[in-house]
Amino acid sequence: MARLGSIEVFPPEVVGVVDRVLPRDDLKSLSASGLRVLEFRFDSFKEPPGEVIAFARQARSTFAILGTMRETETNRGNLKESYAEFIDVVDCVDIEIATTEPLRSALVSIVRNASKQLMISHHDFTKVPSREELNQTLEKARQLNPDFIKFAIAAQDDDQVKSLMRFLLDHVSDGIPLSIFAMGEVGMITRVSAGMLGSLFTYGYLTSPNAPGQLSAMELLALKKKLYQH
């Protein structure tokens, strides 16, 4: 069974996406609801970095913490410094496979040197790539020897959703824990059902959606409780 930090995770493990500092009572309520993992989108917070780091440290006393910052034109020059600032308050870091080199290798080194877990992710907000392209991206991710791999792919119709789930089934037993789901309205069902096929994590918003077809963490927790035996 996979572990994130000290937490043993069970598919579909619900991850609450955090993009603002929350009051202490809100954290208590989230924990009481059964949420165990938070993803900090450090590039989305409006609060000062020091305040966000302090909040993440506080949250980590209760939750396992994923941390990430997506590369942009404006943050590329100081992304390594930003990762070094938050590395101590997370259990695992998500790095996008499309991050430009040599920056990606430098970020992976920061994660490894801090003895943190590594997630390599791939997002496609426009289409489901061909099977060949998916296989190539998966192999590229595997070569980085991550602890987790995540694919979030936009789907336009039921056939594309089925194709993505067949890809999950073909690779879920390959050795690295996978999280694969379809974005968009038609792919919404995979945010719950993919767990039956072995997809490890599913992501829900706490304040407002940050991806097409995303459900709230509370909705996902309720569905998991209703549909799964763990």
Residue pLDDT, tens place only, 23-76 = 999 999 999 999 999 999 999 999 999 999 999 999 999 999 999 998 887 778
At the top level of CATH, which class does the domain 3-222 belong to? alpha beta
Q: Angle 41-81-207 (CA atoms, 0-180°, nearest 5)?
A: 10
Q: Where are the domains of the chain?
A: 3-222
Question: What is the spatial distance between Cα 34 and Cα 226, in angstroms, rounded to a whole number?
Answer: 13
Instruction: Please report the sign of the dihedral spanned by the C-alpha atoms of residue 105, residue 204, residue 165, residue 2.
Output: positive
Question: What is the spatial distance between Cα 201 and Cα 93, in angstroms, rounded to a whole number?
Answer: 14
Helix (H, G, I), strand (E, B) or coil at 11: coil
Check whether 135 has a pLDDT greater than 90. Answer: yes
Residue 7, strand partner residues: 4
- The confidence score (pLDDT) of residue 230 equals 64
Residue 140: CA count within 13 A, CB half-sphere: 17
Question: What is the spatial distance between Cα 55 and Cα 90, in angstroms, rounded to a whole number?
Answer: 11
Q: Is 190 left (phi over 0), alpha (psi -120 to 50) or beta?
A: alpha
Band (pLDDT 50/70/90 cuts) for residue 4 is very high
In the sheet with 92-96, reading across from the earlier edge strand, the strands are 178-183, 148-154, 117-124, 92-96, 64-68, 37-41, 13-18, 201-205
- The confidence score (pLDDT) of residue 92 equals 98
- The confidence score (pLDDT) of residue 55 equals 97
